[in-house]
Amino acid sequence: MRLMHTKIPMIACRTLCALFMGLGFAAAQVPDHPDELQFPRLDFEPPMSAEFLHDLDGIPVYLAPSSEWPLIDLTFTFKGGAFLEEPDEVGLGSSLGVMMRRGGSARTSAEELDERFDFLAANVSTTVGSDRSSASLNCLESNFSEAFGLFMEMVREPGFDAERLRVHLDERVEAFRQRNDNPMSVAFPRMQRLVYGDDHYLAREPTLDTVGAIDGDSLRALHRRIFHPGNLVISATGDFQPAQLLDALRSALDGWQVGESVGDPPAPVHVTKSGLYHTETSQKDLPQGTTMIFARGIQRDHPDAIALTVMNDILGGGGFTSRVTNRVRSDEGLAYTAVTLMRPQVYFPGIFAGFYQSKNPTVALAAKIIMEEIERIRSEQVTAEELERTKNGFIEQFPQRFASKSGMLSTFVSDHLTGRDPNYWRTYREKVAAVDQGDVQRVAREHLDPTNMSILVVGDWDAIEGGDLEGRANMSEFGEVEHLPMLDPLTREPEGERTPTGP
């Protein structure tokens, strides 16, 4: 066999030699153990929102130009949402968010608007949430002028096409029929009702009657209350010149009537009652129970909010490093997911909750273990290692909030709408670093009371209440159970009553 020889130019030889020498030098610098690796300190200061804020005739506009991609990402965010619904029109806000995008505009049919957005490769969306609403446009810089004109048509004068509205409402009713099929779709709304009360906007559910009453007039009425410049904050990032974009915005907003600004959502008046609750799904003989352990939590800007976030991460919010996950999943093998959550609300106290799904006989044991961990974090200090790991995690992950311009602007807009201190993020890491073992124990004692928590179990009670075969726990240890009837999927009225049983 004949060997083929390839000549390598002298300059290539020198390059290869330099490369190999560099690799040899780098290899010589590799430490013996990963623990010896050293990295330069990351010095990161979060940007201040004021650096990106412009005033457009009284409307706040946050702009972050970027030439990385030939795109423009524009969002209109409005204060106001489902909390503005009357009790007999629950679900109207959600339908408004869908139909603004689906229903065309007053000047362009739904079909034509879809076709033109598709032709322009413009991604357009609208949403109405519980307390804020938005409309977003993402498109090529070269197509922005035309796409933005269509976007403004849709936002200012939505068409609410009658046939598409009929289809949408039929889809909603069909989805209602499945509300009792999934344990989580039963558990979460029930928990909201128990915490906030049936009449509060966070607990209300749309029904066949409330959705059936939705029409073009009711959609337009809610649209007028939310979608106007008096509730508006604008943000944009992408390939644009700020002065030119501001001019385009000013022209597009010209003549748009400023309505009455929306106030803050109402706080619940319901007093949360602790207890043991049970309800079922439409699926009988489920092999596992879905459980929520919960109590009223804190408001977002509570002085203990950061210390509680650290505490919860150690307790059950930190995944595999947290105590609840370790004991319930790793040590006992009782559940695939077992977590605790801190869900503060901006305008009133929110919810603290623990969640897991376990085989019916071990539902009680998992609940007992979580209660033990809640009591342990109240009665003894966390370890220095747990605290350091959790705080370092929060501090090291902090820059990710500002890693993208769109994420940064989303933070600025949210803070603007909710009145958060502009300096909050500048001092966030220092406040996390200042949390000590005593702080963690103190906030756990003050804000977590196992005797004042509720347990909601969704599943086959007869298979759950007796507990595990080893006799380590049963549901009678948590008091007398109140059986909550399933709610009719269409009316949300009780389907029937079950006789309560004692311990």
- For residues 248 and 283, state if they share a domain: no
Q: Is the pLDDT of residue 447 over 90?
A: yes
Judge whether 431 lies within some domain.
yes
Judge whether 96 lies within some domain.
yes
Measured distance CA(302)–CA(281) in Å, rounded: 37
The confidence score (pLDDT) of residue 147 equals 98
**Dihedral angle sign, alpha carbons of residues 162, 163, 166, 172:** negative
- For residues 239 and 315, state if they share a domain: no
Please give the average per-residue pLDDT across 193-197, as a whole number: 97
The confidence score (pLDDT) of residue 10 equals 46
The confidence score (pLDDT) of residue 35 equals 75
The confidence score (pLDDT) of residue 496 equals 60
Q: How many CB atoms lie within 10 A of CB 82?
A: 25
20 pLDDT band, cuts 50/70/90, is: very low
Calculate the average pLDDT of the chain.
Answer: 93
- For residues 388 and 437, state if they share a domain: yes
Please give the average per-residue pLDDT across 53-70, as a whole number: 96
Q: Is the pLDDT of residue 6 over 60?
A: no
- For residues 247 and 311, state if they share a domain: no
36 pLDDT band, cuts 50/70/90, is: confident
Judge whether 29 lies within some domain.
no
Q: Is the pLDDT of residue 229 over 60?
A: yes
The confidence score (pLDDT) of residue 42 equals 67
The confidence score (pLDDT) of residue 11 equals 45
The confidence score (pLDDT) of residue 495 equals 83
Q: Is the pLDDT of residue 15 over 60?
A: no
Q: Is the pLDDT of residue 3 over 50?
A: no
79-122 confidence digits (pLDDT tens):
999 999 999 999 999 999 999 999 999 999 999 999 999 999 99
Triad 395, 400, 404: Cα angle to 5°: 155
136-176 confidence digits (pLDDT tens):
999 999 999 999 999 999 999 999 999 999 999 999 999 99
How many independent structural domains does the chain possess? 2
Which domain range does residue 83 map to?
49-253
Please give the average per-residue pLDDT across 336-354, as a whole number: 97
Judge whether 146 lies within some domain.
yes
Q: What CATH number does residue 82 fall under?
A: 3.30.830.10
The confidence score (pLDDT) of residue 196 equals 98
- For residues 440 and 339, state if they share a domain: yes
Triad 396, 319, 380: Cα angle to 5°: 90
Judge whether 260 lies within some domain.
no
- For residues 224 and 326, state if they share a domain: no
Give burial (CB, 10 Å; 0-12/13-18/19+) of 113: buried
- For residues 292 and 164, state if they share a domain: no
% of the chain at pLDDT higher than 90: 89
Q: Is the pLDDT of residue 503 over 60?
A: no
3-state secondary structure of 1: coil
Q: Is the pLDDT of residue 17 over 70?
A: no
Query: Bridge partners of 135?
Result: 76, 126
Please give the average per-residue pLDDT across 168-189, as a whole number: 97
**Dihedral angle sign, alpha carbons of residues 391, 396, 397, 401:** positive
3-state secondary structure of 123: strand
Please give the average per-residue pLDDT across 384-398, as a whole number: 97
Judge whether 30 lies within some domain.
no
Is 324 in contact with 317 (CB distance < 8 Å)?
A: no
Amino acid at the residue 225: R
Judge whether 28 lies within some domain.
no
Please give the average per-residue pLDDT across 195-216, as a whole number: 98
Measured distance CA(67)–CA(240) in Å, rounded: 8
The confidence score (pLDDT) of residue 122 equals 98
Is 340 in contact with 312 (CB distance < 8 Å)?
A: yes
Measured distance CA(214)–CA(222) in Å, rounded: 11
- For residues 433 and 352, state if they share a domain: yes
Judge whether 235 lies within some domain.
yes
- For residues 198 and 281, state if they share a domain: no
499 pLDDT band, cuts 50/70/90, is: very low
31 pLDDT band, cuts 50/70/90, is: confident
- For residues 56 and 181, state if they share a domain: yes
- For residues 377 and 449, state if they share a domain: yes
Q: Is the pLDDT of residue 467 over 70?
A: yes
Q: Report residue 105 CA to chain centroid gap.
A: 30
- For residues 240 and 335, state if they share a domain: no
